Amino acid sequence: MIIVMRPDAGEQAVQKVVEKLKKNGYQIHESRGVEKILIGAVGEKSDNVNMAIEALDGVEKVIPILAPYKLAGREFHREDTVIRVGELTIGGPQLQVMAGPCAVESREQLLEIAFMVKESGAKILRGGAYKPRTSPYAFQGMEEKGLEYLAEAREKTGLSIVTEVMDTRKVELVAQYADILQIGARNMQNFPLLKEVAKAKKPVLLKRGMAATIDEWLMAAEYIMLSGNHQVILCERGIRSFDDTYSRNVLDLSAVPILKQLTHLPVIVDPSHGTGKWPLVEPMARAAVAAGVDGLIIEVHTRPGEAICDGPQSIKPERLSNIIVEIGKIAAVMGRTL
């Protein structure tokens, strides 16, 4: 629920409300404006508590939050959340492009691509050190050695790093190297992992599950936020459909404006996994920016035909440069920058 305090309510009245809510097991989040003080309370619904709060001095009204996701919803937090990654922002007027290989394959491969990503104008390097694969026989990633290569690439290029974490036991390790922790589609509802990444206190890139509804996706974000980390970035990466002949998934771009209505969290789009085919990446990247995204995450490889995984959806670095030029034009029309 949201408690709206009267304009003339003093600090003592505010604290009495906060103490009453905490006593009843609610988590408290205050928002202080010029004219109003709003107190967000998250916990188990209780009509008795609602009535008790309404009776306290200084309370103007109590508004129940109807959406099942409390912290992620706009009812609770009207302004867009802007997440800081070093000197970068995600969710503000500037769009961010995350780019790099699906998997870290070697030091030489990663550094070569990292410098090209930097030259293209992207500011965040993506690369998988731990890889969730459908087949247990497929390449599973270089693990900590891959993380070391990512850290070296950051040191040499100045790019920030986003990489996936798959295991609760590896969160602390990955967090030592990464600037953004990625939760992949397969782990969107791995609730122990969501709670554990929250403890790292680093931005979390939460990919939509391949068959997840928007409500399920936002409830997954709620797990992270309720555990104390509000730095969540939502990533639309395509959902399963009945026709996989022409694209790997269906990239649900309607989710972008829907999420902008429902939540204050930043939204980015992955046109690589969303389509699975490199010729579709550029047009879907342009469409995503037109739909209002806060950024893109794109797979890049210098030799896609030799990539260990996801070669068919990887673009070459020179095509990334072209994409950034094109989306920059669309962003400018919409009052955004790159």
The string of pLDDT tens digits covering residues 86-106 is 999 999 999 999 999 999 999
Grade residue 311 by pLDDT with cuts at 50, 70 and 90: very high
Task: Report the alpha-carbon angle 50-54-57, nearest 5.
Answer: 140
Grade residue 318 by pLDDT with cuts at 50, 70 and 90: very high
pLDDT tens-digit map of 215-245: 999 999 999 999 999 999 999 999 998 887 8
Grade residue 48 by pLDDT with cuts at 50, 70 and 90: confident
Question: What pLDDT shows up at residue 83?
Answer: 97
CB contact set of 294 (below 8 Å; sequence gap of 6+): 90, 91, 92, 95, 96, 233, 266, 267, 268
CA 74, distance to chain mean position in Å, is 16
CB 280, CB 253: distance < 8 Å: no
- Provide the β-strand partners of residue 54: none
Task: Report the alpha-carbon angle 292-295-301, nearest 5.
Answer: 135
With a cut of 90, say whether residue 264 has pLDDT above it.
yes
pLDDT tens-digit map of 128-150: 999 877 777 677 789 999 999 99
Same fold flag, 2-63 and 83-333: no
pLDDT tens-digit map of 67-85: 888 899 988 788 899 999 9
For the chain, the structural domain boundaries read 2-63, 83-333
CA distances to 43, 70, 246 from 23, in Å: 11, 19, 56
CB contact set of 275 (below 8 Å; sequence gap of 6+): 238, 247, 248, 249, 251, 281, 284, 313
pLDDT tens-digit map of 147-201: 999 999 999 999 999 999 999 999 999 999 999 999 999 999 999 999 999 999 9
User: CA 314, CA 289: separation in Å to the nearest integer?
Assistant: 19
Which CATH number applies to 83-333: 2.40.50.140, 3.20.20.70, 3.40.50.1820, 3.40.190.10?
3.20.20.70
Residue type, position 278, single letter: W
Please state the pTM of the whole predicted model: 0.87
Beta-carbon-side half-sphere exposure of residue 37 (alpha carbons within 13 Å): 19
Q: And the tokens for 143? A: 């693990």
Nearest to 262 by CA among 234, 289, 231: 234
- CATH code of domain 2-63: 3.30.70.1140
